[in-house]
Structure 1
Amino acid sequence: MNETLKVALIGNPNTGKSSLFNALTGLRQKVGNFPGITVDKSTGFFSLPDGRTAELTDLPGTYSLFPKSLDEAVPLDILLDRNHKQHPELVLYIADASNLKRNLVLLTQIIDLELPVILVLNMIDQAEAKGIKIEIACMQETLGIPVVAVNARKRKGIPQVIEMIQNGGKVSASRFLNTEKILRFPLRELVPAGEEENPHHTSYSLLLKLQQATITQTKKTARPGFDAFRKNYNFDSGEYQRDDLLYRYRAVNKILATCVNEEENSRFKRHQQKLDAILTHKIGGYIIFFLILFIVFQAIFTWAQYPMDLIESIFSQFAIWTGNTL
């Protein structure tokens, strides 16, 4: 068996994507650009126990599927276009276990695209240190996808991730946004003629394509069907985006209330409260603030003079030595 399984690694920025990517692929990776744009593309390979090879593509970090930059548009294009060269057979979603409220919003969008997904909860040690306890079984049941906790930097949990990738992700039966609830028009009209039975044209994928066609409308990218639909039904992309995110944050809050317990009196919170009490004190806070400003001023205008004089002396001596030598 020498098949290649295409896997996309996606998540919010600063969730440890690079650490997980390196832990899985090691030195078997290459860097290039996504076709047609100058956004870096990291691709790596690793072997699965059943003999297949996994091709892992590290997608640019983003907070949602509503792109605000060229980098953030890359994941949306790849996930929506089933004919894209990098379109994944499996999505590996990485989340910061200590900040799930923000991280799970993008995950719910990907789940609604009906793609096979695995959730990797990274930095689980930091979450535990903050008194955050995540019930993995509850998360799996609620989200309807495989979930694994890891510490990618220390390579803890990586064998379990590889095993889950081999078994394949799962297309969740859960839907976090009822498109019919926030929209009052038939999205099925956007399905191209002759593709009415194609299961890839999900309600949410059609909605994102409509959103994308609305905000990137140019002569070069115009889509007659989408443009006519938008005008006929007076589609407001800003209003839709707001409603979409509001519904998702509500859904995420319910998930966290059910599956995540946070200790009220954890060691981390006690230290945080003590520090807050000192730094925000009505008198002591101002004293600390002005002390920091004084230290910064001294570092720039007084203390910096000593290393500058030393560097100048070294270069002067070096110039003299060079002149004598030559």
Structure 2
Amino acid sequence: MLRTGKKTIQIALTGNPNSGKTSLFNALTGLNQKVGNFPGVTVDKKVGVTQISGHGPAKIIDLPGTYSLYPRREDEWVAYRVMMDVEKQQDLDLLLLVMDASNLKRNLLFCSQLVDLKCPVVVALTMNDLAQKKGIRIDVDELSRELSIPVVPVNPRTNKGIPELKKVISHVLAQSVSAPAPDFIDNKALAPQAIEDLQAIMPEVNDYLAVHYLANYKNLAFDAPLKAQIAAVETKNNFSPNKVQAEEILQRYTRIRKIMQQFVVEPDPLQKKIFTDKLDNLLLHRVWGYVILLVVLFVLFQSIFWLASYPMDAIDWGFSELTGWAASVLPDTWWSDLLCNGLLAGLGGIVIFVPQIMILFGLITLLEDSGYMARISFLMDKLMRKVGLNGKSVMPMISGFACAIPGIMSTRNIENKKERLLTIMITPLMSCSARLPVYTILIGLVVPDTYYLGIFSARGLIMMFMYLLGVVMALIVSLVLKWIVKIKEKSFFILELPVYRAPRWKNVGVTMVEKAKIFVLEAGKVIMVISLLIWFLSSYGPSKKMDAVTQRYEKTKTELTQAGPDNTEALEALDREYGTEKLENSYAGLLGKSIEPVIKPLGYDWKIGIALITSFAAREVFVGTMATLYSVDENNTSTLQQKMENAKRPDGSKVYTLATAMSLIIFYVLAMQCMSTLAVVKRETKSWKWPVIQLVYMTALAYVCSWITFELLK
């Protein structure tokens, strides 16, 4: 029933996972929300606004997918609490339910429960084209009459049926007083006396809502006195939530079977398999499935180097030329130094990696949108179980390749507490996009740009090895934690495999642009702040030390100038030496020198030490830090890679040898260098214990493995 006096209509968008719910949310609100073709994409509720004729703006709350009103996972509890709305915070006007026409029987269970909540419900029937391909025919009008709620066929991908859906929503909202749909089953019969006793305390509660309050009052936001009263009713009537739930589901499916027989025509089960089933025979094969998976991953990492190399080279050259030009035309002042060696160096360290970020996310979106990503979970379940996880752990881990934060948040989709905790603990070992700039520049320094058999790039192979190393180490760590974490709880892996679909190229393009914007604007802010801070710390130091360096430089320069005009090379060498000595005596140099004894066994110098410290804010800051440090004491016409190639130790040996570079890459593969991730782990585990353990074990693992790598290769 429409509540008067409200400024904005509140509509909750709900439905089974993978039913097209988020696509409908995009179609209604026009927001560029990420759409993934696998269960568990939506973790927290998301909000958008749409215009409903006669009612103005309506707020659409996109809830996590759920199969029924009996939540088990964290994300299902999010949806459940909103629909129960005990605190009346949402004040919902309507439930917009998305139902998959190709899986109607399963979807009708949730639908029947929502009908019995007595809140206005409108059904958006999706996947009608797929149902047609399967030979399923639904009498939509009769189904709507049987359920006593509107049912509107839609296709969110093409916007078909969206105007009709909005008209129906407007009509339902306009009914200021409307009789609720009759009960789908006799809810009162499930626990008659307990329901009556609860309604004596809460007269406004209907029969089905009373069942849920009795079953889940401990997890709902009732005040303590009311919880005590409900508990007394439960005890007095010997109310058993599990028994009532089992009886309810049995009754609902009994009626659902009758509805399916009356209003739905389904094909013979022995009918020829559709394309999805045929393709699954190959992609989920016990041998060929894994071979194809490795090929897909190989192509993905090869593409990151191959496709991105041209725009990256152009950006790198452009920034080096711009910096050199700016240095030549601007006066020799502190602000021009800040502009060239701080601002432009930091900006170049951000923009150069945009092509790779876009390509990585574009390819991952293709895998999600096509339906293949869910198959990866299915393939990996057997291996996951051996190390204490299950197939659902794969999704957070794959998300971790983009960023550990959404990956860790998506572990709410894992019902088993131990498996969820283990997944949280190992997800940061996945090589996120923030590591990509570090891998790229270091691999480019020491790995030759050669091809084997004309197609296999050496750099691409090393890149793929680093990603696989993170996965292997994650599985090993999970195996160890499996025996340490003492939580015993049975788990089951149930995953709905979506049908294969042609990728939505618009969605791929939007995702690539959005992720590039996030990288430039969000990560870029951090990189720019750190770059400017590093410029300051690298340009200034204790006045006593810096003055002594400047006096020696001025004295030597005067002597060389007086000696004659043929000392140009000597003066240039003196300038470089002055820049290096000034940097070593700056605040940054002193900080780096102080930690150099700890990192020297790994093959690192003090400049790398500074980058390790600053990149704890965000791993990608490594490149910006190096760009700033080498800009301070190098000429501005060289690219960052050229500057790093020319870097020398005090004894004249190269800094970035194969041993040092590979040791550093290994460190970044395994180290926990992300404050934001630690904060999210604390929020998800509700304790500082696990993020501290995570920080300690990952840092120790990174140090030991980097040391071994350096010793083997030096």
Tell me, yes or no, whether TM beats 0.5.
yes
The structure 2 residue matched to 1:270, chosen from 269, 272, 293, is 272
**1:54-80 deviation per Cα after TM superposition (whole angstroms, max 9, x unaligned):** 111111111111111232122322222
For 2:260 and 2:17, how far apart are their aligned partners in 1? 21
For 2:293 and 2:157, how far apart are their aligned partners in 1? 37
1:292 maps to 288
2:98 maps to 94
List runs of 5+ in structure 2 lacking aligned partners: 34-42, 303-450, 464-638, 648-714
Name whichever structure is richer in helix by fraction.
2
Letter of the structure 2 residue corresponding to residue 180 of structure 1:
K
1:48 aligns with 2:197: no
For 2:293 and 2:25, how far apart are their aligned partners in 1? 42
The structure 1 residue matched to 2:117, chosen from 113, 116, 119, is 113
1:311 aligns with 2:456: no
2:27 maps to 23
The structure 2 residue matched to 1:176, chosen from 174, 184, 203, is 184
1:248 maps to 252
For 1:207 and 1:290, how far apart are their aligned partners in 2? 45
- Structure-2 change in CA distance of 1:238 and 1:298 (3 Å): closer
Letter of the structure 1 residue corresponding to residue 145 of structure 2:
E
For 1:148 and 1:80, how far apart are their aligned partners in 2? 25
For 1:203 and 1:149, how far apart are their aligned partners in 2? 31
**Secondary structure of the corresponding residue to residue 14 of structure 1:** coil
For 1:243 and 1:324, how far apart are their aligned partners in 2? 72
Cα deviation, residue 171, structure 1: 5.7
**Secondary structure of the corresponding residue to residue 111 of structure 1:** helix
**Secondary structure of the corresponding residue to residue 243 of structure 1:** helix
2:14 maps to 10
Alignment check: 8 A CA contact 1:8 1:57 kept: yes
**1:145-169 deviation per Cα after TM superposition (whole angstroms, max 9, x unaligned):** 1110011111110001111111116
For 2:290 and 2:15, how far apart are their aligned partners in 1? 40
CA RMSD of aligned residues (A): 3.9
Cα deviation, residue 239, structure 1: 1.0
- Structure-2 change in CA distance of 1:294 and 1:22 (3 Å): closer
TM-score (norm. length: structure 2): 0.37
1:131 aligns with 2:135: yes
For 1:270 and 1:249, how far apart are their aligned partners in 2? 27
**Secondary structure of the corresponding residue to residue 273 of structure 2:** helix
**Secondary structure of the corresponding residue to residue 10 of structure 2:** strand
**Secondary structure of the corresponding residue to residue 271 of structure 1:** coil
**Secondary structure of the corresponding residue to residue 22 of structure 1:** helix
The structure 2 residue matched to 1:80, chosen from 81, 84, 89, is 84
Higher relative contact order (CA 8 A, sep 6+): 1
For 2:275 and 2:229, how far apart are their aligned partners in 1? 56
The structure 1 residue matched to 2:228, chosen from 224, 231, 244, is 224
- Structure-2 change in CA distance of 1:171 and 1:143 (3 Å): farther
1:209 maps to 213
**Secondary structure of the corresponding residue to residue 163 of structure 1:** helix
For 2:290 and 2:191, how far apart are their aligned partners in 1? 57
Cα deviation, residue 220, structure 1: 6.8
1:234 maps to 238
- Structure-2 change in CA distance of 1:230 and 1:154 (3 Å): same
Letter of the structure 2 residue corresponding to residue 176 of structure 1:
F
1:151 maps to 155
Alignment check: 8 A CA contact 1:115 1:171 kept: no
Name whichever structure is richer in strand by fraction.
1
**Secondary structure of the corresponding residue to residue 157 of structure 2:** helix
TM-score (norm. length: structure 1): 0.78
- Structure-2 change in CA distance of 1:223 and 1:156 (3 Å): same
For 1:177 and 1:23, how far apart are their aligned partners in 2? 34
Alignment check: 8 A CA contact 1:6 1:86 kept: yes
If you compute each CA radius of gyration, which structure gives the higher value, 1 or 2? 2
- Structure-2 change in CA distance of 1:238 and 1:265 (3 Å): closer
- Structure-2 change in CA distance of 1:73 and 1:289 (3 Å): closer
- Structure-2 change in CA distance of 1:299 and 1:84 (3 Å): same
Cα deviation, residue 289, structure 1: 5.3
Moved more, 177-186 or 160-169: 177-186
**1:72-101 deviation per Cα after TM superposition (whole angstroms, max 9, x unaligned):** 122322222364221311110001110011
**1:21-57 deviation per Cα after TM superposition (whole angstroms, max 9, x unaligned):** 010011399xxxxxxxxx6221111112225211111
**Secondary structure of the corresponding residue to residue 102 of structure 2:** coil
Moved more, 241-250 or 47-56: 47-56
Alignment check: 8 A CA contact 1:111 1:171 kept: no
For 1:297 and 1:260, how far apart are their aligned partners in 2? 38
For 1:41 and 1:293, how far apart are their aligned partners in 2? 35
Letter of the structure 2 residue corresponding to residue 235 of structure 1:
F
Over the matched positions of the two proteins, sequence identity in percent amounts to: 31
**Secondary structure of the corresponding residue to residue 110 of structure 2:** helix
**1:268-310 deviation per Cα after TM superposition (whole angstroms, max 9, x unaligned):** x42349977x96xxxxx9xx9576279469969x999953635
